Copies of this chain bind each other. A is one copy, B any other.
């Protein structure tokens, strides 16, 4: 039965839904986009869906984790705890709206002032008939990668529902002996929050927690598991989620209804794709990906409608553990993750416009397309800022791209700024070298003056025109190498591709040329030419220095990054393992060692640059985004090669 999806006001659709839901047992999944801390905004959105769900006679309407506060709210609630009181006030207001349709709403619950442990619970309230009917609290609190729940929250001492009177007054010595299930119209619901679903003892090789709330609720007699989530998307995570849900439903013989947040909060992008899985592990309903959506389903009869998913489900879990340059199956998801990241960052910050330098190279071209698609081409300004090293091809590629894309375009020479700055600096340097007489014979100053002059233009525009920010176009491979200029190309109000490795960017450019409504927007020559910053001349060739000559082949570099991030490989592992690049090219051992040494040396010096990276979007399974990964800058002296036992004894003079 093709159940209609999307919240639509058309009378016909509403009628059709009413006819269906009259049979009972139907739930609405409100997959909404939240603003962190903007409780009024979130509450109004929730109230709209509660009213709609009531109007179509649903048994229940379900919202994502922390739907009143937005997830993640991070340290904000610790410093501004009035926000927690505030979200409870709004929760009580929302309860008054409800009628016979129950609503499950996520909120931050205060704990008693002097109760042992953290200050808050990550809770859900079940609202119905004008009242709060019960509270469910998150038991398993993730505290890795982009998750920090345990910084603020206390794990629940009880699985499932507790009476409403425990609100704000709950701790391990106040657990009330009652059924953990919520019974509504003859169905027993076991209600969980996000991570509570992710600790199946048979599915995972290793468990983080001792409890498994899902099996406890099943044992207590649950007919259906409901899970309210804020689960970020990352490369290839969809496969894991799909397999885990199917396995858990099938092995516990229980349908699962999963409601996920959609939209981005800062660096973290949630893909929605809320769904229902029947007790055989089969998907029977799914909401849209990367869009707000409202779907209606019946978990007992497995009635629902499946929206097509954003691709990313093609690979098996085992295949995920092998590096590949075949990015095809990831690209649609990568594209949508970044588009959503840009859109929501701008909208939630009250921004509208972006300005970026168009060099005619890959990074800025890909950024321009993503920005135009996210913000509308009228809101993007591309500025070509050639120097004497910029080739005619690069200049014409920049212009062609802007024309193809329909974004605003201007040309501005950096020559006057570079000349004046160079002259000023040289004057000062002469003064300084009378005191510090070890001036570099060959420095990066001329390269950096060019990059910083361009940034001077872009930041100037953002100061001069309302709601506009400059874009940092650095990519992940180059950030790993510190191959980006501070206050130059790595500065900006947002960095769309900071978590996309270069080889994937090439694939993404080709994918966009093929799959966007308008084809071949990025000139072929942009994709075919070797990347280079066109900031300096290679003394060997007399031509602008090629990035791969300055660094190493991107295919090799990106595999190092992938292996470290995804398999936590050490220097020795990298040395011993065979890279995809090595299957296609002869790499002498000395060459491999040189590249590995260069990688670790440059990475160690890049830690500072990572620490001042502008807000960006997490795309890959692991990243160097501050929201996800932090390493002390002063750890640059780590010896990644390690020592043998004999070497250690020798150094210790044993």
Mark A residues whose CB is within 8 Å of B.
35-41, 43-44, 47, 70, 72-76, 78-83, 85-86, 89-90, 92-94, 96-97, 113-118, 143-144, 148, 150-151, 205-210, 264-266, 344-345, 348-350, 353, 378, 381, 383, 408, 410, 412-414, 416-417, 419-421, 423-425, 427-429, 431-433, 435-436, 438-440, 443-445, 448-449, 452, 455-457, 459-461, 463-466, 468, 486-487, 491, 493, 564-565, 568, 570-572, 608, 611-615, 622, 626, 629-640, 642-643, 645, 648-649, 651-652, 654
Q: With the chains together, A635 CA to B645 CA distance in Å?
A: 51
* Among candidates B431, B487, B648, residue contacting A459 with C-beta atoms closer than 8 Å: B487
CB closest chain-B residue, reference A650: B93
| Contact A86 B642, beta carbon cutoff 8 Å | yes
Q: Which 10 A-B pairs have the closest CB atoms?
A: A82-B570, A348-B634, A37-B638, A37-B635, A420-B420, A36-B632, A36-B635, A445-B463, A425-B460, A487-B487
Q: With the chains together, A92 CA to B652 CA distance in Å?
A: 11
Output the least CB separation between A571 and chain B (Å): 8
* Among candidates B40, B74, B568, residue contacting A632 with C-beta atoms closer than 8 Å: B74
* Among candidates B44, B115, B452, residue contacting A456 with C-beta atoms closer than 8 Å: B452
| Contact A444 B461, beta carbon cutoff 8 Å | no
Please give, as numbers and ranges, the residues of chain B lying within 8 Å of A455 by CB-CB distance: 487
Knowing A38-B639, A116-B209, A412-B428, the reply to whether A452 touches B459 (Cβ < 8 A) is yes
Most buried by B among A345, A423, A429, A444: A429
* Among candidates B206, B207, B210, B633, residue contacting A113 with C-beta atoms closer than 8 Å: B206
Knowing A349-B633, A465-B439, A637-B41, the reply to whether A118 touches B448 (Cβ < 8 A) is no
Please give, as numbers and ranges, the residues of chain B lying within 8 Å of A206 by CB-CB distance: 113-116
* Among candidates B40, B208, B350, residue contacting A116 with C-beta atoms closer than 8 Å: B208
| Contact B638 A76, beta carbon cutoff 8 Å | yes
| Contact B634 A349, beta carbon cutoff 8 Å | yes
Q: With the chains together, A143 CA to B420 CA distance in Å?
A: 51
Knowing A116-B209, A428-B383, A568-B81, the reply to whether A353 touches B436 (Cβ < 8 A) is yes
| Contact B210 A116, beta carbon cutoff 8 Å | yes
CB closest chain-B residue, reference A430: B410
Q: With the chains together, A314 CA to B85 CA distance in Å?
A: 36
Q: With the chains together, A642 CA to B38 CA distance in Å?
A: 10
Q: Sample 28 A-B pairs with CB under 8 A, ordered by A number.
A: A35-B637, A37-B638, A41-B637, A43-B648, A78-B144, A79-B631, A80-B568, A80-B570, A81-B568, A89-B648, A92-B645, A117-B208, A118-B208, A344-B634, A350-B637, A381-B435, A414-B424, A417-B417, A417-B424, A424-B456, A436-B468, A438-B466, A452-B456, A455-B487, A487-B487, A608-B615, A611-B614, A612-B614
Please give, as numbers and ranges, the residues of chain B lying within 8 Å of A417 by CB-CB distance: 417, 420-421, 424
Please give, as numbers and ranges, the residues of chain B lying within 8 Å of A424 by CB-CB distance: 412-414, 416-417, 456-457
Q: With the chains together, A151 CA to B639 CA distance in Å?
A: 23
Q: With the chains together, A86 CA to B645 CA distance in Å?
A: 9
Knowing A417-B420, A638-B76, A654-B96, the reply to whether A37 touches B632 (Cβ < 8 A) is yes
CB closest chain-B residue, reference A425: B460
Q: With the chains together, A293 CA to B491 CA distance in Å?
A: 42
Please give, as numbers and ranges, the residues of chain B lying within 8 Å of A74 by CB-CB distance: 630-632
Output the least CB separation between A185 and chain B (Å): 26
CB closest chain-B residue, reference A51: B653
Please give, as numbers and ranges, the residues of chain B lying within 8 Å of A433 by CB-CB distance: 465
| Contact A435 B408, beta carbon cutoff 8 Å | yes
Knowing A79-B631, A445-B460, the reply to whether A428 touches B410 (Cβ < 8 A) is yes
Q: With the chains together, A340 CA to B264 CA distance in Å?
A: 39
CB closest chain-B residue, reference A644: B89
Output the least CB separation between A458 and chain B (Å): 10
Q: With the chains together, A70 CA to B635 CA distance in Å?
A: 9
Q: With the chains together, A144 CA to B153 CA distance in Å?
A: 11
CB closest chain-B residue, reference A72: B632
Q: With the chains together, A88 CA to B113 CA distance in Å?
A: 42
| Contact B466 A448, beta carbon cutoff 8 Å | no
| Contact A654 B116, beta carbon cutoff 8 Å | no
* Among candidates B210, B432, B468, B615, residue contacting A611 with C-beta atoms closer than 8 Å: B615
Q: With the chains together, A115 CA to B648 CA distance in Å?
A: 29
Knowing A564-B79, A612-B614, the reply to whether A428 touches B632 (Cβ < 8 A) is no
Please give, as numbers and ranges, the residues of chain B lying within 8 Å of A97 by CB-CB distance: 652, 654
